Amino acid sequence: MTASRLVADDLCVMEQRNGEWVLTAAVVCAPSRWVLAEKLGQSVSAIHEPVPGYATDLDQLVAKFFDRLSVEKPVWRLNWTLVDSPELFLWPRASIPPRPRSWFFRVERQTLRRLARSDAIVFTIRTYVTSLDDLLVAHREYGANLLLALETAPEATLDYKGWRGVADELRERLNEVS
């Protein structure tokens, strides 16, 4: 709790239990449509159960990566998505909303580090949100890449991310700002 008040990042502590990495403690102020209470006590594999392709493409890599993570070499990664709200705290969506006119580019800067004394792993998440319109004005070149990602995403990913219809909106915006 004290640590979480010292940094703006969300903090998750992972510990090894029966050969699996399990979420044992966390302070998460900016969940991206997930509920912390449902993930506490779960293994990394179980936490990612709703993520399309995770079990087949990422699960084993992440498990190995966690086992090999060293105290000396913390790592970072980025995760991005487009969401229909600028709020940092996002509840899971109960039903498919009407198509919003505003989209927001949401980026999580995540870090992973092993703690020397406890051997636990701390996973940090710092969330940044900017409106898609502002992003396209500042970085016009991102538009085509985003559109490609949306157009080539598998069907399951479109549903998981809530991206149905976003490609059409983005195409319209790109025409407007060009």
Burial class (CB in 10 A: 0-12, 13-18, 19+), 19: exposed
Per DSSP, the three-state class of 142 is: helix
Residue 171 CA neighbour count, 13 Å, CB half: 8
**In angstroms, what is the minimal distance from the CB of 177 to ligand HEM?**
25
Q: Are 110 and 123 in contact (CB under 8 A)?
A: yes
Q: Does 173 bind ligand HEM (CB under 6 A)?
A: no
Q: How far is the CB of 58 from ligand HEM (least distance, A)?
A: 5
Q: Is 23 in the site for ligand HEM (CB under 6 A)?
A: yes
Looking at beta carbons only, is 18 or 178 nearer to ligand HEM? Answer: 18
Closest distance to ligand HEM from the beta carbon of 123 (Å): 4
Query: Which phi and psi (to 5°) does residue 60 adopt?
Result: -70, -40
SS3 95: coil
User: Could you say which residues in the range 113-172 bind ligand HEM, by CB under 6 A?
Assistant: 123, 161
The dihedral through the CA atoms of 57, 63, 66, 68 has a sign that is negative
- Name which of residues 52 to 81 contact ligand HEM (CB under 6 A): 58, 62, 65, 79, 81
> What is the Cα–Cα distance from 66 to 74, expressed in whole angstroms?
11
Structure letter (DSSP) for residue 79: E
Q: Decide: is 104 part of the binding site for ligand HEM (CB under 6 A).
A: no
Span near ligand HEM by CB under 6 A; candidates 43-51, 126-134, 143-151, 166-174:
43-51
Taking the least distance from each CB to ligand HEM, the nearer of 39 and 114 is 39
In the complex, the residues that contact ligand HEM under the rule CB under 6 A are 12, 14, 23, 34, 39, 44, 47-48, 50-51, 58, 62, 65, 79, 81, 123, 161
